[in-house]
Amino acid sequence: MNDGNLQQYDVIIIGAGIAGASAGYFLSESRRVVVLEREDQPGYHSTGRSAALFTETYGNASTRALTTGARPFFESPPNGFADVPLLSPRGLLFVGRADQQEALDRQYEEVSRLSREVRRISAAECLAICPVLRAGYVAGALAEPDCMDIDVASLHQGYLKGLRANGGRVVTDAEVRGLEAAPGGGWVADTKAGRFVAPILINAAGAWADVMAELAGLAPLGLVPKRRTAILVEPPGGTDSAAWPMVVDADEELYFKPDAGKLLLSPADETPSPPCDAQPEELDVAIAIDRLEKMTSLAGLRPSHTWAGLRTFAPDKTLIAGFEPGLDGFFWLAGQGGYGIQTSPSMGRIAAAIIGGEDFPPDLGALGLDRDILGVERLRR
């Protein structure tokens, strides 16, 4: 490490994606926070590449609880947090062929306990809601009308703006390339933008969280980044898709939804990948378009824009918020998988409460969450 002047903070956060930004936002209310981001802009990786959906029936029980617990923040953020509503109505249809109806019945049994709005609907109702669906393909669906679109850019900027207003700092072009235990306790992070020291280090490096652990001399947790492809296509002229819901195939092999006059679709791929600047593969793009053309009457579609991002999962697919056991000051905020945006208000609050030595947020506790469910011990046994 170089011997440049050490810049002293209460908390260093590695990564200015939605995880680092949300934790920094809540922590900066009471602590001096610096967020160190490798790229020249926050949100370059997974956070800027999502499908921007909020659904309380997605993921395992803890993920669903984190999402439900986040709804009040999304619906009534603090004054001045954002100039626009963070959520807007979208709706969701899980559509199935005749051979998928039993699976949809089972899914209905499970999710109707979580959302009173969920309904089982007929093929005719599906076609009335989304007229491009093929009558011969769709035999029925599960409708989740209270699923919402998230304004991800406003949410992310809201966190970062609030953090700065509280005196926190975001340093871009600041790749953390060395991590050392500080002589007096805490951690020293070495970057080309300077050296930073703090009693607490938050590892919110997304797909690189295990890489950061190894840099600090810790064993990795076995996080697996998985690539997911997204494609924008132009629907044929005259198609008014604005009010269509997000449509997901019952086996989750395709989804599509309107996006600013275009359609966003994905083959819902989950290809394991090393941490990297993920790029779409032509084959995944072709598979998505082929599946869309089988499910709908849309034809001759050409991609106008394609991208891919990494969804990074813990081995048990549960999100991680907690200190490394037996080690001072190393906090994990990782494994956000395909739910990092919709769970961020809950995860940010939980990180701030644990680091601040406060009680676990009682409203999230009432939803069945606790430190052990999200903590690191479960992955170190």
Residues 6+ apart with CB under 8 A from 298: 132, 233, 235, 236, 239, 263, 292
**Number of chain residues interacting with ligand FAD (CB under 6 A):** 39
Task: Look at the block and give the residue holding tokens 């800027």.
Answer: 48
Binding residue (CB under 6 A) for ligand FAD from 23, 34, 52, 147:
52
CB of 73 to ligand FAD, least distance (A): 13
Give the contact letters, 254-283, x = binds to ligand FAD (CB under 6 A), - = no: ------------x-----------------
Give the contact letters, 15-44, x = binds to ligand FAD (CB under 6 A), - = no: xxxxxx---------------xxxx----x
Give me 72's structure tokens.
């009040």
Candidates 187, 188, 190, 186; CA nearest to 177 is: 190
CB of 338 to ligand FAD, least distance (A): 5
Q: State how far the alpha carbon of 128 is from the alpha carbons of 121, 133, 245, in Å.
A: 11, 9, 11
Cβ distance to ligand FAD smaller for residue 244 or 339: 339
Q: How many angstroms separate the CA atoms of 69 and 197, rounded? A: 33
CB of 266 to ligand FAD, least distance (A): 6
Cβ distance to ligand FAD smaller for residue 125 or 270: 270
Candidates 366, 309, 312, 357; CA nearest to 331 is: 357
Cβ distance to ligand FAD smaller for residue 123 or 369: 369
Give the contact letters, 218-247, x = binds to ligand FAD (CB under 6 A), - = no: ----------x-x-----------------
User: Does residue 158 interact with ligand FAD by CB under 6 A?
Assistant: no
Helix (H) or strand (E) segment spanning residue 378: helix 377-380
Cβ distance to ligand FAD smaller for residue 205 or 355: 205
CB of 326 to ligand FAD, least distance (A): 24
Task: Look at the block and give the residue holding tokens 């992310």.
Answer: 156
Q: State how far the alpha carbon of 214 is from the alpha carbons of 94, 195, 220, 222, in Å.
A: 40, 19, 6, 11
Cβ distance to ligand FAD smaller for residue 123 or 284: 284
Cβ distance to ligand FAD smaller for residue 13 or 143: 13
Other beta carbons within 10 angstroms of residue 276's beta carbon come to: 13
Task: Look at the block and give the residue holding tokens 């999402």.
Answer: 67
Give the contact letters, 80-119, x = binds to ligand FAD (CB under 6 A), - = no: ----------------------------------------
Cβ distance to ligand FAD smaller for residue 301 or 347: 347
Q: Which ranges of 142-240 would DSSP assign to H, the alpha helix?
A: 152-165, 209-215
**Residue 358: alpha-carbon gap to chain centroid:** 25
69 DSSP assignment: H
CB of 128 to ligand FAD, least distance (A): 25
Give the contact letters, 323-362, x = binds to ligand FAD (CB under 6 A), - = no: -------------xxxxxxx--------------------
Candidates 286, 285, 235; CA nearest to 259 is: 235
Candidates 52, 11, 62; CA nearest to 313 is: 62
Site stretch for ligand FAD (CB under 6 A), options 12-20, 106-114, 160-168, 356-364: 12-20
Binding residue (CB under 6 A) for ligand FAD from 51, 213, 233, 314:
51
CB of 40 to ligand FAD, least distance (A): 10
Residues 6+ apart with CB under 8 A from 256: 246, 247, 263, 264, 265, 266, 292
Single-letter code of the amino acid located at 219:
A
> Interface residues with ligand FAD (CB under 6 A)?
14-20, 36-39, 44-47, 49-53, 175-176, 204-208, 228, 230, 266, 309, 311, 336-342
